[in-house]
Chain A
Amino acid sequence: MITGMGDARIVRLSLRVYSLLLASYPQSFRQQYSAHMLQAFGDYTRRVYLQRGLPGLLWWWALTLFDFLNSVVEEHLQMITSTTKEKFIRLGGWAWMLAGVNMFVAIAFGGFYETSFGSTRAYESIQAVLWTALPLLLSNGFFALRAKYRESMGSLGNIALILGGSLSLVSFIALLATAALTSNDAVCVFFIFGPMVAMIAMMLFGIDALRERYLPRWGSFPFIAGLIPVLAFIAQIAAENSSPQITSGTGNPTLIDQLLEYAPLIFGVGVFLIGYMLQGEGKAAEKAV
């Protein structure tokens, strides 16, 4: 193998031109493969020039230019597709972290409202904004989770995330649409509908995650975070139907009352932690891309 100074001038020129062309590939691809590509191109160019002379070299350059154009477009397209997906996953992680904080703040404001500390009207407005934004944030996170684990999840997880994402989005749109209504009942239905759907979807996704074991850590969190609120609501409905005096409003709070009080918080903590994990995964994948 002839190397370095021993190369014919035209081979050295070819190597220089090809090294300039390599600068057009995406950075990550270039970092990994450009040195090897240049080496392989150089070896092949020397061989072609020695065996077939200038006509062979020109033919090889024509093939190389076609190969370059084809592959540079393909690598850029792949990078854009992968980066967009990873960014979406990361954004979904942040959305769920924000949703967790959002729930905590909304519940805290509910507490303030009950004590009638300050302006009641202001608390109501802030709570309305927070509860309206919640389904949108949850929807984003559900779709991001699906994008991240689609290939390893089972059909239960897939259905749960599609339903969770789309129904949360429907809930958000409905909340915006009913914002102008004076009837609080219609608005309240959608305030409850979004989080309830999200909790059920989270529980089903949690079952799938436990079965298929694709979450890198905190594998039981989605199930616990979804199950407890759902159980609390079911227990409350069952208790109200069987004996109305068991539940709140008749003296000391019962276990169901306490469970119901902390259920949204448990769900919020679960959402925050899964969001934290998801944005971390998205960040790592984005760096890899």
Chain B
Amino acid sequence: MTDSTQSSEDHLPLTPAVFNILMALADGENHGYGIMLDVEANTSGSVQMGPGTLYGSIKRMLKASLIEESDERPDPELDDQRRRYYRLTGAGQRVLRLEAERLASQVAVARAKNLLADAVVGGRG
């Protein structure tokens, strides 16, 4: 038995590492180094994910069927054949959407409490 029998809601809330990896794969399949770069870019450089966290999370996400390995290569001639590519599964997409919605609702609450900078500015303006 693997975690793949869990419902999408059972995975929530996601750890920051899992959320960042799913976000990095939302645009399409990618390899480990590519995911590290995407995570850094998506978080404006505030998160630099190390290989230990990355591959530990990948192992658990594969087991939970949130991602899967991909045999396709964007350009086989340019790419290193040793690289392993990963992509989101249907379950992974659902979990990512649910987590994004959950975070958005939290942000909405924070906004309503004037905790966000733009809300404060807006309130003062």
Distance from A61 Cβ to chain B, minimum over Cβ atoms (Å): 10
Q: Does B33 lie within 8 Å of A71, measured CB to CB?
A: no
Residues of A within 8 A of B80 (CB): 39
Q: Does A39 lie within 8 Å of B52, measured CB to CB?
A: no
The count of chain B contact residues (Cβ–Cβ below 8 Å) is 22
Residues of B within 8 A of A152 (CB): 1, 5
B residues near A, CB below 8 A? 1, 5, 31-33, 36-37, 48-56, 58-59, 80, 82-84
The listed residue with most A CB atoms (<10 A of its CB), out of B54, B56, B58, is B56
Given contacts A32-B59, A36-B32, A39-B83, are A149 and B52 in contact (CB under 8 A)? Answer: no
Interface residues of A in 50-107 (CB under 8 A from B): 60, 63-64, 66-68, 70-72, 74-75
Pair count A-B, CB < 8 A: 70
A residues near B, CB below 8 A? 29, 32-33, 35-41, 43-44, 47, 60, 63-64, 66-68, 70-72, 74-75, 148-149, 151-152, 214
Q: Does A75 lie within 8 Å of B36, measured CB to CB?
A: no
User: Can you name the residue of chain B whose Cβ is closest to the Cβ of A71?
Assistant: B52
A-B contact pairs, 29 of them (CB 8 A): A29-B55, A32-B59, A35-B82, A36-B83, A37-B51, A37-B52, A37-B55, A38-B51, A39-B32, A40-B31, A40-B32, A40-B33, A44-B36, A63-B48, A64-B50, A66-B50, A67-B49, A67-B53, A68-B50, A71-B53, A71-B55, A71-B56, A72-B52, A74-B56, A149-B1, A151-B1, A151-B5, A152-B1, A214-B1
Given the complex of chains A and B, what is the CA–CA distance between A148 and B1 in angstroms?
8
Given the complex of chains A and B, what is the CA–CA distance between A33 and B51 in angstroms?
10
Q: Does A67 lie within 8 Å of B82, measured CB to CB?
A: no
Q: Does A70 lie within 8 Å of B52, measured CB to CB?
A: yes
User: Can you name the residue of chain A whose Cβ is closest to the Cβ of B40?
Assistant: A44
Residues of A within 8 A of B5 (CB): 151-152
Residues of B within 8 A of A72 (CB): 52
- Selected from A40, A74, A148, A214, the residue in CB contact (under 8 A) with B51 is A40
Given contacts A39-B83, A152-B1, are A44 and B59 in contact (CB under 8 A)? Answer: no
Given contacts A60-B48, A63-B50, are A33 and B36 in contact (CB under 8 A)? Answer: no
Given contacts A37-B55, A39-B82, A75-B56, are A67 and B50 in contact (CB under 8 A)? Answer: yes
